[in-house]
Structure 1
Amino acid sequence: MARFTPVHWAMMAFTAIPAPALADECVQEKAIYGDMDDAYELRFEPVGAEMAVSNKFKFAVRNTPVVADGVVMRSDDLLHANGMIMFNCPEGDVTGADLRACTVWQGMIYASDLTGNISALPAEGAGAAERLFLPALGPSIRESSMWGAGKATIALWDVLTLKGCSE
């Protein structure tokens, strides 16, 4: 009779119980993403009446009070999603210099399925992407006001994985 190690039992359990297709069950505006170190969370929210943006989100450094605001604006061809993460921006009328000073990261946000196929970030109402790729996000955070004692102290990978769906 074969002896199974705990790893064998775990592998058999995962193959016997199908994993839920979370992306198929969750729409993009309710998707919650995390990094592989569980140090960051990106949580999408419904846009509402803001017509200039196609998606918006909160970007939090876990186990700290740090929460940044994020927006996504589509290109004219709707094929590209330009994202921006801002931290401690002033309220009301702001100048371009004010906005540049509080911008932590800006760039294209790419979506990916589990097999690595890259696409544009889904719009509201569409199924959530399995993974997000935000190029150079980690280095941008290290150079921003989000980095330091009591804030972000773990270097972030540029890939975030779908972890859940808000109600």
Structure 2
Amino acid sequence: MTTLSFCLFKVPSVLSASIGVALTVSTAFAACPLELAVYGDAESAAEIDFRPTMDSAVVTNTFKMVLDNSVVLDGIVMWTEGVGRPHGSLMYKCPTGDVTGDELAACTVWEGVIYGSDDQGNIALLPAEGVDAPKKLIFPDLGPSLQMSAAYGANGFSKVPWDVFALKGCQE
């Protein structure tokens, strides 16, 4: 953690400046709940914005992935039964309402387990809402899956994101 020190005896206005800096620094390190977290990949090709899931009995996390050319993918996480894993799905232009399994499969562009990591690089499964957001998220094989999807190309996005996303901020 960085220590900031100021000489407060020479100029009275320095006191107010130091208080403002101290408040900014503490806010920057404040914890962010996962349901309000914003992540970005190293290539700046995509951003992930989590949203509160509300009262869903099955979906534990909801998010959107924003790519270039205004392409938006809808994401959900549901924990599997048996050996519990946070199974994530990203969908592109899915129909709404009463959707069949085939229709849902046709619009799903990525599926897999989502992992999180802390500052020390410890890997864990993505938690459900209500906890602090992990420092990084890992979406295994995201890039290749998206590149083979209908969302990629002439009428879609052109920059393929990396599989790792770092916490960028917190929505208010």
Q: Normalized against structure 1, the TM-score is what? A: 0.83
CA distance in 2, matches of 1:84, 1:25: 26
Question: Distance between the aligned counterparts of 1:43 and 1:84, measured in 2?
Answer: 14
The runs of 5 or more residues in structure 1 that have no matched partner are 1-13
Measured after TM superposition, the shift of residue 109 of structure 1 is 0.2
Q: Following the alignment from structure 1 to structure 2, what is the Cα–Cα distance between the partners of residues 31 and 83?
A: 16
The yes-or-no answer on 1:55 pairing with 2:61 is yes
1:148 equivalenced with 2:144 (yes/no): no
CA contact (8 A) 2:93 2:107 kept: yes
User: 2:57 and 2:167 mapped to 1: Cα distance?
Assistant: 25
- The superposition leaves residues 66-122 of structure 1 with CA deviations (integer Å, 9 ceiling, x where unpaired) of 111100001236842100000000111111111111001000000111221011112
- Cα separation, 2, equivalents of 1:16 and 1:144: 48
Contact 2:44 2:161 in 1 (8 A): no
Contact 1:138/1:155, CA 8 A, preserved across alignment: yes
Tell me how many residue pairs correspond in the alignment.
153
Contact 1:24-1:127 within 8 A present in 2 as well: no
1:86 aligned residue: 91
Any idea what SS the aligned residue of 1:54 has?
strand
**4+ residue stretches of structure 1 with deviation over 2 A?**
14-24, 75-79
Q: Does 2:39 align with 1:33? A: yes
- 2:78 is matched with which residue? 73
Q: Deviations over 1:1-56 (max 9, x none)?
A: xxxxxxxxxxxxx9556976867510000000100111201110000122110001
Match of 1:161 among 160, 166, 172: 166
Larger radius of gyration: 2
Q: Do the aligned residues in 2 keep the contact of 1:138 with 1:158 (CA within 8 Å)?
A: yes
- CA distance change for structure 1 residues 23 and 99 in 2, over 3 Å: closer, same or farther? farther
Q: Aligned partners of 2:171 and 2:84: how far apart in 1?
A: 26
Unaligned runs of 5+ in 2: 5-21
2:48 to 39, 42, 61: 42
